[in-house]
Structure 1
Amino acid sequence: MNDGPIWFKSSYSDTEGAACVEVALPWRKSSYSQGEGDQCVEVSALPQAIRIRDSKRKDGPYLAIAPSTWSAFVAHMLGG
């Protein structure tokens, strides 16, 4: 498993690997997660989507939602 950032190659890179730009996508663990790593949710923000995953399954599936949906969810959870 890779706990470091996830790197994505630019769509402008050629197939030989020359003139490449890569961007890191960090995952952040919820501040409500337990210290032992149980019951953790991680979030990664992109301009077009917010990605959410179970931190125990780093190579597993994730949920991608629109940033506006994430903002509405967070506002609702904060009582707003």
Structure 2
Amino acid sequence: MKAVEFYTFMLPPSPWSKKPYPSRWKMSIEEAAKRYPAATPILASKEVHMCPETPEDFAAKQMTANPRPLPKKLG
């Protein structure tokens, strides 16, 4: 599995906001560079997510997921 770091970013001023403001969602550095080239990460907001890369990783992730318990039969 691949570890991907996500951050909240300070976005540049927009026509509606005259000051830089934090993003509403977390993005990887690569995603933020594509969407907002002038954005800077807030390092204290770092989250690391483990993302599956291979079919084996996907299968292992599905096996470890908690399925919903079956409802009990009445009567």
- TM range, normalised to the smaller chain? under 0.3
> What TM-score, normalized to structure 1?
0.23
User: 1 or 2 for the larger relative contact order (CA 8 Å, sep ≥6)?
Assistant: 2
The structure that has the greater radius of gyration is 2
Instruction: Give me the TM-score of the superposition, normalised by structure 2.
Output: 0.24
More helix by share: 2
